[in-house]
Amino acid sequence: MKLSTATKVLAVVLGSAIAVAFVLSATVVTKADAAGYIFTRNLTVGSVGADVMELQKVLNSNPATVVSASGVGSVGMESSYFGSLTKAALAKWQAANNIAPAIGYFGPLTRAAVNAAAPVITNLPAGCTTPSGYSTTTGVPCNTAANFPAGCTSAAGYSSTTGVKCDSSNSNGSVAGNGTDGTLTATQSSYVSSGITVKKGETKDVVAETLKASIGPVTVTRAGVHFNQRPWLLFSQVTLHDSTGKVIATKTLSSAADATEITVGSDYLVTFGNVNYTVTPGINPDLTVGVTVLPATDKIPTAGLPVLAGFDTLRTINGIGWTDTISAATIGSGIGGSSFTLTSVGSVADIYTRVSPNSALAHQVAVSLTQQTTDVPLGTFSLKSANNSSQLNTLTVTLASTTLSSGPSAAFSNVRLFDASGVSHGGTLTNDGTVVFSNLTIPLSQDAWQDFTVKTDVTASTTGTGITVALNGATGIVVTDANYGTATYESGTATSNAIGLTVNAVTISGASMTLGQSIGGQTPTGYAVNGTVTLTNNSNNDLYVSATTTTFLTQTVTVNGVASTTVNTNLGTLVSSASPATYAGDVAGVGYDIPAGLQRTFNFVGAVRGTSGQAVVLKVTTVNYGTTVTSNTGSTNTAGLDSMIVTGQF
């Protein structure tokens, strides 16, 4: 049977990653709530973020404009991805509210109308007087309501009804006892640039690491940061927060007792105790440490004081109560390692660059075979003018790719730079991939990150992999300092997540794998395994997957951490079942048809087998598909498969 439009998963124009080096999922599903929200940026197909989820909640509040009748995008299951269903629902909302043209683009007119109808936020976060901008004291966004415990009206003191501490900023809920065996990894983050300069009295982020949970959510219970200088002589406070601005913990430094001397003269540890920060699969936050430099310290020489910093071991707990540690970094290098310089001089603008947290994750773009595909986001960057405000005059980026069916100037046209207000600025593209945006007069406020998105139109039938856009912070930016001084530019290149261009785009959702009953009685020789995955065909032609499980899904097996091909562990020989059960293009025992624009769910039944003392891990790494029922391979997707992993303990 065919699916109705209401049951389709978000049709992805910017979907999942084909680039092997970037394996992340762009869709995050959560339950809706009734809190007010103020929108601050334009949204269109391919946009990713919490504001997309809030927009879907607005649309779902009216039965005439719901995003989806069921599944992802339906009431209570709003997602953070702006796809074709969101566009269609928004167009209906615009038409009903007399906004023209009603084309499903969330621009300044629609944003103003939605904001005007939003409930007033009365419990603003500390340091906020309006829902606009960011807190002057904590840095958190002002457009979200502060969530205080019952009996609290602010973060100060204790609840009048429960007695709990009103400051809930250090907790987002432990996962202990939820039954999932989650794991956590930490990797180097570009959220904070190494080599920055921090003046007396300034507060700046100095080191960051990216956290990624797999299988299930994991709670961080303790964190710390190492410095190679005595921190209590330099900083009044050290703050731990994430990339959304959420403050996780703070540590006031007033004496040597507030740090631990690991190595005399070269290694000092500041520990954040009683941390309760949960990382959820699919949401990869940057754990960030900021410092507030003492305004009157005499420990910073005229020439400046180099400081090294690095994260200490993280302690974690998962949903089955297992505790773990994430290995410590060497200060100044390794996971989260960074260096910065303390100085008491310098007031000219200092320009920082990074890949924006709002930048789309690695994904595929479905390109039309017959006509131009317009407004394809290539990447979003953030610029910050530290020490002083400035004006952006020129921005130069470089397009690169692993493969591209034609040269950049033939594949792309109408390359534009969109600033934070949604205004577009045309660029000049050369065939070496260089794009120059010149004659700009965009103000950069002091010490505030501002997003810039690069978009392009793609020529019909263009294909490619590993397509990125890069911004060199030292050579790709020209600004005018507010005092007409010579601005400084922090070195380093920010490179967007890769995209793939294909006429055969498949996205993955609902992927999972679980252990079932044991095989072999009280001394198991194996465990049943059940797996499922939903594929959505975003192209304009039918796509096919093999009925043979090992051809359909690339699977890996490890025994006690060593790769193995001899253990009888897999998801079975053939696909167990499909939903819908049949399509016209199916050939029994050969392959399954996924019609253009539709989705299909596949189920698998297999086993993990081993002997006493073995830990056998079965993992799915890749979905393979093709353009005919017999040629059902040739294209791949790796994003969205993090939960397809199980471990059998024998």
Of 458, 487, 502, the residue at which a domain comes to its end is: 502
Residue 644 has pLDDT above 60, yes or no: yes
User: Would you say residue 435 lies in a domain?
Assistant: yes
Q: Are 197 and 272 in a shared domain?
A: yes
Q: Of residues 326 and 24, which shows the higher confidence score?
A: 326
Q: What is the DSSP code string of 106-118?
A: B-HHHHHHHHHHS
The pTM of this model reads 0.41
Which residues 6+ apart lie within 8 Å of 183 measured at CB?
A: 213, 214, 215, 218, 318, 324
Tokens coding 609: 């087998």
Q: Are 357 and 339 in a shared domain?
A: no
Q: Are 387 and 436 in a shared domain?
A: yes
Tokens coding 283: 């949401």
Weakest-pLDDT range from 140-149, 466-475, 621-630: 140-149
Tokens coding 106: 């969330």
CA dist 647 and 321 (Å) reads 16
Q: Are 302 and 426 in a shared domain?
A: no
CA distances from 196 to 134, 141, 304, 340, 386 (A): 22, 24, 12, 5, 10
Which residues 6+ apart lie within 8 Å of 575 measured at CB?
A: 547, 549, 552, 592, 602, 603, 604
- Burial of 448 per CB tally in 10 Å (0-12, 13-18, 19+): middle
Q: What does the pLDDT look like over 534-546, one tens digit per residue?
A: 999 888 789 999 9
Quick check: 25 and 623 in contact, CB under 8 A?
no
Q: What does the pLDDT look like over 497-512, one tens digit per residue?
A: 999 898 777 889 999 9
Q: Are 510 and 415 in a shared domain?
A: no
Query: According to the model, what pLDDT value does residue 10 have?
Result: 24
Average pLDDT, the chain: 81
Q: Tokens 């025994």 label which residue?
A: 559
What is the domain range of residue 70?
A: 5-117
What percent of the chain shows pLDDT beyond 90? 37
Which residues pair with residue 435 across a beta bridge?
397, 429
Number of other CB atoms surrounding residue 630 within 10 Å? 10
Query: According to the model, what pLDDT value does residue 243 have?
Result: 83
CA dist 114 and 121 (Å) reads 14
Give residue 390's region: left, alpha or beta (phi > 0; psi -120 to 50).
beta
Quick check: 464 and 375 in contact, CB under 8 A?
no
Q: Are 234 and 272 in a shared domain?
A: yes
Q: Are 263 and 330 in a shared domain?
A: yes
Q: What does the pLDDT look like over 410-468, one tens digit per residue?
A: 999 999 999 999 999 999 999 999 999 999 999 999 888 999 999 999 998 898 999 99
DSSP symbol at 225: E
User: Would you say residue 134 lies in a domain?
Assistant: no
CATH number, domain of 512, equals 2.60.40
pLDDT class of 125 with cuts at 50, 70, 90: low
CA dist 516 and 96 (Å) reads 50
Strands 488-489 and 350-355: parallel
Which residues pair with residue 252 across a beta bridge?
237
DSSP symbol at 258: G
Query: According to the model, what pLDDT value does residue 234 have?
Result: 93
Mean pLDDT of 60-66: 87
Tokens coding 126: 């500390």
Query: According to the model, what pLDDT value does residue 196 have?
Result: 86
User: Would you say residue 641 lies in a domain?
Assistant: yes
Which residues pair with residue 353 across a beta bridge?
383
Q: Tokens 């899904």 label which residue?
A: 553
Quick check: 240 and 275 in contact, CB under 8 A?
yes
Q: Are 305 and 365 in a shared domain?
A: no
pLDDT class of 132 with cuts at 50, 70, 90: low
Query: According to the model, what pLDDT value does residue 576 have?
Result: 92
CA dist 235 and 253 (Å) reads 7
pLDDT class of 34 with cuts at 50, 70, 90: very low
Q: Are 388 and 467 in a shared domain?
A: yes
Q: Are 525 and 464 in a shared domain?
A: no
Upper half-sphere CA count for residue 548 (Cβ side, 13 Å): 9
Number of domains making up the chain: 4
Q: Are 454 and 478 in a shared domain?
A: yes
- Burial of 378 per CB tally in 10 Å (0-12, 13-18, 19+): buried
| End-to-end Cα, the chain, rounded Å | 43
Q: Of residues 611 and 193, which shows the higher confidence score?
A: 611
Q: Are 102 and 249 in a shared domain?
A: no
Query: According to the model, what pLDDT value does residue 130 have?
Result: 59
Residue 290 has pLDDT above 80, yes or no: yes
Quick check: 376 and 14 in contact, CB under 8 A?
yes
CA distances from 508 to 20, 473, 517 (A): 15, 35, 27
Of 345, 370, 392, the residue at which a domain comes to its end is: 345
Tokens coding 183: 């794991």
